[in-house]
Chains A and B, each alone.
Chain A
Amino acid sequence: MKDDSKYWKLRYAAVILLLLLQVVLYYWFTQYWS
């Protein structure tokens, strides 16, 4: 079976990075409209 573990690690990292990005955006959103 082809080893695609590297691509899965990238996908996991992308999910976590997107979460962090959202937290930053939501923080900005909260500050902007408060």
Chain B
Amino acid sequence: MSGLDWFVLLLTLAGMISYGVYKGRDQHGSSTYILAGKNMPWYVVLLGVMATQASAITFLSAPGQAYTDGMRFVQYYFGLPIAMVVISVTFIPIFRKLNVYTAYEYLEQRFDRKTRVLTSFLFLLSRGLSTGISIYAPSIILASIMGWNIYLTNIITGGLLIIYTYSGGAKAVAHTQKLQFLIILSAMAIAGYLIIHQLPAGLDMSDALYVAGKSGKLNVITTGFSWHDKYNIWSGLIGGFFLALSYFGTDQSQVGRYLTAKDTKDSRRGLLMNGIVKVPMQFAILLMGALLFSFYSFQKAPLYFNEGPYNELKAMQPQKMAAMESDYNALHTQYEAQAISIANTKKSATPVTPSMLSDFKQTQQKIYALHDTVKAEIARNKLSSDTSDTNYIFLYFVKHKLPMGLVGLLFAVIFLASWGSISAAINSLASSSLMDIHLLSNKTALSEKTQLLYGRLHTLGWGIFCIGVAMFATKMGSLIEAVNILGSLFYGTILGIFLVAFYVKKINGNTVFIAALVTECLVILIYCLDIVSFLWLNVIGAMLVVLFSLSLCNIIKPSAEKSS
């Protein structure tokens, strides 16, 4: 990166920390620290909810996903708008009426204390570990492509945001998220424009779309059904609905955002607007990936996008890699000519012949085979713990094709996207561990000042824990997927508990507690047997808790005392 890029990057990050500390001043107690004094307007709630969901990986992986697998990933979000409506109708009025600090506090009022503590514990476990991974995941990408120290990158990605999250709590999180998300969207829009602008002379966006479409990258809607297929319209609508309902309705990192709204109306407006803009935003990010596919079909693309380990491999095996690069260059020249001739058929309004298309795809397969050989060699020589090259495609474009200054801004965007979701997660972890566990066992009434101090200490504690997980993940690369899947294993059960709480009035605390434990064991079993894709685990978990609760409600008697 040039000096100007470094200046832009450091200025943006330092500016964001200062802004967060400034906006989060005037803290009086737990109400301002956890709920930002409940005075946020709907658009701050909207940007907060979006910034919490969209981590750095969203902006790095999604274009790569479209580049390799096409745009069908967008279907994963189709259930989200329906979930926003259900949460607005049922969840928000109850949370607001009971004036709760956390979603789990409601469960004590509805069932009993042990159900609140169990649900909160499941949340703390899964969110704590997954936040650590969401620090590590972008850090490894940035460190690898830029040659930075991974431990230092972990500190920048997950550590600096603690400064304003610690001092300003939910208020600082909400205001920084608003600014972060506006910067992210503007920078991504500029990057999208530059992909189109830098297409070779004589080729425009419709040519790029044509080639991407003929290569199967614009497969937004896929109607085939399979229990193992992650992204089709059915798993997107049904599985995506349950996932969004669990995430936005029961995960404190999201509930904590819309509870900061000044009233029920603004909580609802923020969520409904999220339901309207989320799918198009995801479509736009994926479209960038599909356009990048055409961009690198019309002109030279690297054999391997993750430059760090690739350069190491070239240094280790110079002759073998030189021969492979020479084969690759010849293949890519042929591939470019084929891509341009397909684009030209559109201009001359003649249909692409099946042989043209099959030749193009054949050359593509040969390129993929070479790429897989490099990938296998990198893995065999243990040159990188991250062997997924798709995450590096967008950053490669940013690093090599964007003008000076903008490169620094795009790298800042990656950090800001991380900060947006991690700060909300740490704030919610601190809220839940403080209100659902720590203060429950503290019988004496605490002053506002003491509650604020405890809130800050919990924030600091969770910040250190999450960075610790990220550092540990650096050493234990293979555990990452297991931790990522952890959320899916618990989400369905947590949602089931809330669904019973909201919709089945006759169920008592003991019944739902046992139903949740049995369901959790079954969900883990289903996952271990690999019966369905992970999106369906939420549906199954939620349904099983409801079914077991209904079946057991006449057998299990309520406790003598509601809160024990």
Contacts and interface: CB of A to CB of B under 8 A. Distances in A.
Interface in A1-34: 8, 11-12, 15-16, 18-19, 22-23, 26-27, 29-30, 32-34
Interface in B23-79: 74, 78
Interface size range on B against A: 20 to 34
Contacts of A26: 74, 220-221, 283
A34 B89 CA distance: 39
A1 to B, nearest CB: 10
A15 to B, nearest CB: 5
A-B pairs with lowest CB-CB distance, top 10: A33-B213, A26-B220, A19-B81, A33-B218, A27-B221, A12-B85, A15-B275, A30-B221, A30-B220, A15-B81
Contact of B272 (A12, A27, A33): A12
Interface string B191-233: 0000000000000000001101110101111000000000001
A32 B210 CA distance: 9
B235 interface: no
Nearest to A9: B89
Contacts of A16: 81-82, 85
Interface string B241-285: 000000000000000000000000000100010011001100100
B219 A15 contact: no
- A15, A18, A22, A23 interface centre (most CB from chain B within 10 Å): A15
User: Is chain B's binding surface mostly helix, strand, loop or mixed?
Assistant: helix
Nearest to A17: B81
B549 interface: no
B88 interface: yes
25 contacts: A8-B88, A11-B272, A12-B88, A12-B272, A15-B81, A15-B85, A15-B272, A16-B82, A16-B85, A18-B81, A18-B276, A19-B78, A19-B81, A19-B275, A19-B279, A23-B78, A23-B221, A26-B221, A30-B218, A30-B219, A33-B209, A33-B210, A33-B212, A34-B214, A34-B218
A23 B81 contact: no
A11 B81 CA distance: 12
A18 B216 CA distance: 26
B117 interface: no
Interface of A: 8, 11-12, 15-16, 18-19, 22-23, 26-27, 29-30, 32-34
Contacts of B283: 26
B74 A19 contact: no
Contacts of A27: 220-221
B248 to A, nearest CB: 13
A26 B216 CA distance: 14
Given A22-B280, A33-B213, A33-B218, 6 more contacts: A8-B88, A12-B85, A15-B81, A22-B279, A26-B283, A32-B213
A34 B216 contact: yes
A30 B220 CA distance: 6
Contacts of A12: 85, 88-89, 272
Given A15-B276, A34-B216, A23 B85 contact: no
- B78, B84, B85, B216 interface centre (most CB from chain A within 10 Å): B85
A8 B213 contact: no
Interface string B74-116: 1000100110110011000000000000000000000000000
A23 B221 CA distance: 8
A19 B277 CA distance: 10
A23 B233 CA distance: 9
A10 B78 CA distance: 20
Contacts of B210: 33
A27 B237 CA distance: 14
Contacts of B84: 15
Contacts of B88: 8, 12
Contacts of A23: 78, 221, 233
Contacts of B212: 33
B221 A8 contact: no
Contacts of A34: 213-214, 216, 218-219
A30 B272 CA distance: 26
- B74, B218, B220 interface centre (most CB from chain A within 10 Å): B220
Contacts of B209: 33
A27 B220 CA distance: 7
Contacts of A32: 213
Contact of A29 (B214, B220, B233, B268): B220
A12 B82 CA distance: 9
A3 B213 CA distance: 49
A30 B218 CA distance: 6
Contacts of B233: 23
B419 to A, nearest CB: 29
B238 to A, nearest CB: 14
A2 B213 CA distance: 51
A11 B268 CA distance: 10
Nearest to A31: B221
A21 B74 CA distance: 15
A23 B213 CA distance: 18
B42 to A, nearest CB: 12
Interface string B272-301: 100110011001000000000000000000
A7 to B, nearest CB: 10
Nearest to A25: B220
Contacts of B89: 12
B276 A29 contact: no
Contacts of A29: 218, 220
